[in-house]
Amino acid sequence: MAAWVLAVGDEVVGWVALSNVSLGPFRSANLGYWVDARHVGRGLATAAVREACRAADELLGLHRVEAGTLLVNLASQRVLAKCDFAPIGTAPEYLHIDGQWRDHVIFQRILNDRAPL
Ligand SMILES: CC(C)(COP(=O)(O)OP(=O)(O)OC[C@H]1O[C@@H](n2cnc3c(N)ncnc32)[C@H](O)[C@@H]1OP(=O)(O)O)[C@@H](O)C(=O)NCCC(=O)NCCS
């Protein structure tokens, strides 16, 4: 996993993480992020996701990043669209959240066309 905290001054106001980092022919990771409700609407998530994708490409050498959002999470879907992610489908019962398996929209961003090392 690679993870970063988002800070305003000395206050932690969010995080972004790449998990399930896979190399070989897949070279992919799952992206997650969160911004404190008091700091939303300022572009923090968008900036963090862009930076995580840059690191996934330039530092980790990945080919692809995947992210999933609840169907109702339009703010998160907007963040992904602004960061050049494309929807690839809906995964039924994808994550267990608040006591129930929830459907998610799955997005991916292809980072580059390099062949695996
Ligand atoms: C979703 C979340 C990460 C957004 O963080 P943020 O820092 O406010 O995101 P940004 O400011 O970079 O961008 C938000 C965008 O969503 C838009 N937006 C906000 N609420 C929206 C809504 N209800 N419907 C549609 N768009 C919405 C904003 O207008 C903005 O787009 P714009 O720049 O075109 O105006 C934050 O609300 C959060 O952490 N939520 C809880 C955890 C979560 O959902 N994490 C993601 C899991 S997939």
pLDDT of residue 101: 98
Q: At 31, which CATH number?
A: 3.40.630.30
Residue 110: pLDDT over 90: yes
Pocket test for ligand 1, best of 76, 106, 107, 108 (most atoms within 8 A of CB): 76
For the stretch 22-57, pLDDT in tens is 999 999 999 999 999 999 999 999 999 999 999 999
Question: What's the domain range around 47?
Answer: 2-110
The pTM score is 0.97
Domain assignment of residue 73, yes or no:
yes
Q: Which atom of ligand 1 is least distant from the CA of 46?
A: 12
Task: Give the pLDDT band of residue 117 (cuts 50, 70, 90).
Answer: confident
How many domains in the chain?
Answer: 1
Grouping H, G, I as helix, E, B as strand and the rest as coil, residue 83 is: coil
Per 3-state DSSP, what percentage of the chain is helix, strand, and coil (rounded to 5)? 25, 50, 30
Residue 75: pLDDT over 90: yes
Domain assignment of residue 116, yes or no:
no
